Amino acid sequence: MVGNDGVFGASQALDDKVSLNLVTVQIAGKASVMAADRLRALASELPDFKALLIKYEQFFLAQVQQTAACNAVHDIDARTCKWLSRMHDLVGPDLLLTQEFVARMMGVRRTSVTTVAGALQGAGLISYSRGRLHIVDIERIRKRACECDDAVRSHFRRMFEAVETDTHKDRCV
């Protein structure tokens, strides 16, 4: 998952390679787009910028590896809470999405998402109505998430501690 903390496609642009990934926008928002040749020019002019792009690629790979392991061993309740926690980091507490979409993103049946969402809503952690999900209690959601949530947050902190903005520090504590 990539949000306002990252970039997608930078390594392909730096190496002039073809992107092999299908990218799905989970939540609508603003993004900046840069032509690959412009990014390459900037990266060669600004070594710190290039280093930042490479660092993010490392973080992204670590996140992908953690997610692969997570999908294999952690239950859907913990994985859903991990996903909600990451979404909260990336876009905040209000998410416009359907349970069908969440199920597709998590690779599970819609009925499983309905069961978990019902339990989370019953516990007062989220509210959900007609495609609008509001995260009510992020701290309790994080306690319920699998350890992959902390692992990904920790990877991010270790990679970007020196360049984090104050705003991001608040979100990543």
Residues that bind Zn ion (CB under 5 A): 70, 74, 146, 148
Q: How far is the CB of 79 from Zn ion (least distance, A)?
A: 6
Q: How far is the CB of 105 from Zn ion (least distance, A)?
A: 14
Residue 10 or 144: the one with the smaller Cβ distance to Zn ion is 144
Nearest to 82 by CA among 53, 57, 116: 116
Q: How far is the CB of 82 from Zn ion (least distance, A)?
A: 5
CB 19 within 8 A of CB 12: yes
Q: How far is the CB of 67 from Zn ion (least distance, A)?
A: 8
CB count in 10 Å sphere of residue 133: 22
Residue 75 or 100: the one with the smaller Cβ distance to Zn ion is 75
Residue 143 or 169: the one with the smaller Cβ distance to Zn ion is 143
Residue 87 or 148: the one with the smaller Cβ distance to Zn ion is 148
Q: How far is the CB of 86 from Zn ion (least distance, A)?
A: 11
- Give the Å distances, CA to CA, from 24 to 28, 102, 105, 123, 140: 10, 12, 9, 30, 28
CB 8 within 8 A of CB 2: yes
98, amino acid identity: T
Residue 55 or 74: the one with the smaller Cβ distance to Zn ion is 74
CB 133 within 8 A of CB 77: no
